[in-house]
Structure 1
Amino acid sequence: MQVSQSAPVAVRGWASALLATVAAFAAMLVVASLGLWLAGADSLPGGGFGSVVAATVLMSFGTPAQLDGSAVFVATAQGGITALPLSVSVTGALVAGVLFLRPLRRHAVVGGRELLLRLVQFAVVWTAVTLVLSAAARHTFTVSTGEPLLDEIGGAIGAEPVVGFRVDPGPAVGHALLWLLIAVVLAVAVSSRTPLPSRLVRFHASVRPAAHAVLTLVLVYLGLGVVGGVVALVVGSQPRETLAVIVLGLPNLAWLALGVGLGASWDGHVSGSLGLPFPEPLAAVLRSRQNVTLDLSTLADQDGRMWLLLPLAAVLVLLAGVATAWRAPVALPAWRHALHLAVALAVAMLLIGLATRISAVYGLSLLGLGGNGSVSLQPNLLTAVPIAAGWGAVAGLLGGLAAPHLRRPGRQQPVPPATG
């Protein structure tokens, strides 16, 4: 009887995992296809558009793409790209998170084993689709040397210049599973309506208000990024390329602005052509010399309006502190609001820093983005994370002190036991 009862549950679990995986990958493929089409990747020789779309989706998990080329008449060249097109990543995370949580909301409680089983089922299906995409994310094509005689000779002896890209399946699966785990954990952490296993119920009132407030904060920055993107689209001279940046990398720029406003910094440089327009102050800083520190000061040296990122961050983080205290139990002491928001904002800054890393050398044009050269952008996490924690602590403390004066009378909730 137990087997007959558990079998339908297992079948529903696999069906749910399949639906969530297909929907998430479909949404990511749509966003990647639109962004790459706007960037001109549909003109890639040899019908490689589908391959570059597959590679872009896998890169959104943090998987590096390998670039190489060899021929008799040109030097062997190798390179690679590690960069997250965060618009693709965020789309997949939202769809995957919502569909993973949806079946759980029908239950008053959820067991730890059931939650783990659903995650394993999700991971198995996710791995299968990732392997299919990694097989598709490779393409080679011939290019001209620029010398008609050499092209003719190379064609005659079968030694035409060949270049290409690929995404190896091993790293693809590893990065995809780590990305999925982070997406699911964050979805569970921010969802106030999803039941938790009994051992984790005590964290409901401590983790979720701060996690939800930080999620709202980063989404507000996305909204502000959309406004800025629309303005750039209207006043700029490259509307299609600007729209490609918005579709593929708006969160990269928006969350970079959040980190810079908080006082975080990145080290980097740009050389050669990248094929897509960077915001002018950002491009000017990165091109100013071979190795440069990107922070609020260096951006403001290029455009004084960049100083506005500091008060913007201060106001929005303070509102996050108030929101944390507002959603938490009434009698929770202010120092615990400070602790919870400090941890949540530190984790967010860690993820933002890792997600905005870029390392690309040789031939972005091989992926259809129309440029080549090198770009590097690496976060200084040893300073960025403590700075974010400090902002969170101050905002959480002030929010905890202000919230009692903003609440409606009669709103009472029990205080969870102190867990540190």
Structure 2
Amino acid sequence: MPAQGGVAGEPDTSRHEDPAESVLLAERCARAALTRAAEPGDVRLGQLLAEQGAQWVYGALCEGRPLPGVGERRLSTWQTRIEEARPEEELAEVAALGGRFLCPGDREWPVQLDDLGEARPVGLWVRGRCSLRFAALRSAAVVGARACSGYGLQVAAQLSAELADRGWCVTSGAAFGVDGAAHRGVLAAEGLTIGVLACGVDRAYPASNGELIARIAERGVLVAELPLGAHPTRSRFLERNRLIAALTRGTVVVEAQVRSGSLVTARRAAELGRYVMGVPGPVTSQLSAGVHRLLREEGELVTSAAEVIELIGDIGELAPRQEGAVLPRDLLHPRCREVLEALPARTAVTALSLSRRLRMVEPEVHARLLELGTLGFVERQGGHWQLTRTCEDHQRVTERSLNCGDSVKR
């Protein structure tokens, strides 16, 4: 069998194999079985793996021996579940699906998962032709509400497609709503996406996303901690979220209520030192209330892929500044703008009265008025100056806006 990441052909242990390869197979089988015994993110199992090794823990469970620091109830559950494990057969089954089982230390293992410490996955069941490690190197999570609005669907799809166009992988949970829109946006842009499941990689959950999940397996990567055939539960969804956070450089939340699983992903990302970002929505929408709280407390506001990449990308990958249209008056010298803005909208005034209002010497005011006259902003009426018709209309609109603001303040 290959030295890294998977099983080729029938895993017949009766064959004469290279000793190092036999040890690797034993380790892989032990870890595959343990993904069936314990729930994802079990810290005590992680501690035992670090202290004793996977083969020792697996052997102890098979033989009914006690495990240090493991209570009777948990031990009984692990022992019951381990009886159902068929690790060699399951490794062959996932290989038949075009997948593999990854262990820490494999070349394809994403080393950023090690940041989870004792809650690191025992192993990962993976489907897809792409390397999980390489896909996760430049990856951003896009998550959000399942029952999202049309705005949320549009933003998630567009943001994800833009990230894909810029060479970034988008990771999400293949669920309804924002997750599904994020994956579809990437696939439409012919980019790379990672779907992290709370069930086995041979199952489609939700079932109505079956076609989407199949496309992710074909053109991206499907990942799960749970073995083949495993079904999702609420706790498994929550633990799945920590994988999404750990695999990526940052998490973007698009629509989330105050109590939302996507905010759990954001919190996990913050705990791991990853960037946490949110896309704002209407202040009247409860679907964005959780995002707005996130932005107030710890998140970065983003509205485009360029702004996401500026945070999580390499040095120098800056988003272009968004500015309003350049108006003719924006090109004026600052002192010219002062004089222009001091002119009343409807009446003509002298240079002397303007100099007093601006506390600027009269010769300079006069010089600025001459400049403005050549540019068509003002015109002379005897010894007085006034705005031209076009400039007067603009000034009147500006004054109305300012007066409206003043009335609100009052």
- TM-score per shorter chain, which class? under 0.3
Query: Which structure shows the higher helix fraction?
Result: 1
TM-score, with structure 1 as normaliser? 0.21
Larger radius of gyration: 2
| Higher relative contact order (Cα pairs below 8 Å, separated by 6+ residues) | 1
